């Protein structure tokens, strides 16, 4: 017969795997509709269409809206660099002009032909809101050209500046609406058929709705396996 194990061991293991609150497991994936944000980092989650390995991601415009539908005017910067000697700046994504854009650093090379997972997040743009705010919608505009991508990553941080895990979403080659509510965030694409990296992409939308029960079940299964040893 196996000796009885103290309950504290299970408690410590559970706490190490998943932080639990009175409302259930606490998930740190970005959802600005649930947790107010001051900083947002938008980065590449995949390659761009250009055949050139020296090509970079171009982002034309981003708009933020609070829980009441009012637009919030942010500022933009980047820690991963910009291209074109100071003309394709991060601030271009907030100027209301869809013809201007921010171009990421060409040194990384995000082409489909030379893509590797290590290049994820190497081109990122950082947005700062005037104050911590809840967001219900983010509008993202790309150029529908070879410098656009179909996978975006979004990280959120409050006033502390500590980012949580990235929200991964599909994006349209031109206009994408990211809507967030208590259940999670989803991207709505303006078209369901797009050519990308030599293949046809058919996906009207994508969503990320964290399943707290599923996450808790996975932890419980792991606890049972550890207990059975």
CA distances 138 to 69, 90, 164, 176, 215, Å, are 10, 17, 18, 8, 27
CA distances (Å), origin 51, targets 25, 113, 138, 174: 44, 6, 29, 19
Residue 162 has a CB neighbour count (10 Å cut-off) of: 10
Using CA atoms, how far apart are residues 106 and 48, in angstroms rounded to an integer?
Answer: 12
pTM value is: 0.75
Residues 40/158, Cβ–Cβ less than 8 Å: no
- CA–CA distance, 166 with 153 (Å, rounded to integer): 6
How does pLDDT run along the chain (229 residues), one tens digit per residue? Answer: 434 433 433 333 333 333 333 333 334 799 999 999 999 999 999 998 888 888 889 999 999 999 999 999 999 999 988 876 678 999 999 999 999 999 988 776 788 888 888 999 999 999 999 999 999 999 999 998 889 988 999 999 999 999 999 999 999 989 999 999 999 999 998 865 555 676 655 544 444 444 333 333 334 334 334 444 4
Question: What's the number of CA atoms in the CB half-sphere (13 Å) around residue 40?
Answer: 29
- Interatomic CA distance for residues 70 and 126, integer angstroms: 21
């Amino acid at each position: 017969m196996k000796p009885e194990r103290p309950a504290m061991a299970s408690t410590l293991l559970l706490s190490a795997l998943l932080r639990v609150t009175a409302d259930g497991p606490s998930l740190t994936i970005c959802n600005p509709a649930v947790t107010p944000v001051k900083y947002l980092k938008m980065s590449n989650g995949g390659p761009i269409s250009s055949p050139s390995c020296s090509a970079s991601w171009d982002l034309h415009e981003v708009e933020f809206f609070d829980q009441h539908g009012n637009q919030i005017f942010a500022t933009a910067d980047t820690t991963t660099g910009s291209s074109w000697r100071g003309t394709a700046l991060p601030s271009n994504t907030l100027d209301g002009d869809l013809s201007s854009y921010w171009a990421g650093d060409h040194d990384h090379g995000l082409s489909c032909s030379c893509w590797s997972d290590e290049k994820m997040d190497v081109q990122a743009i950082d947005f700062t809101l005037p104050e911590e705010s809840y967001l219900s919608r983010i509008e993202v505009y790309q150029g529908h050209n070879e410098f656009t991508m179909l996978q975006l990553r979004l990280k959120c941080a409050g006033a502390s500046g500590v980012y949580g895990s990235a929200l991964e979403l599909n994006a349209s080659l031109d206009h994408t609406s990211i809507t967030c509510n208590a259940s999670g965030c989803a991207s709505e694409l303006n078209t369901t058929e797009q050519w990308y990296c030599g293949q046809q992409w058919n996906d009207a939308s994508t969503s990320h709705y964290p399943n707290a029960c599923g996450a808790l079940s996975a932890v419980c299964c792991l606890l049972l396996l550890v207990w059975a040893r």
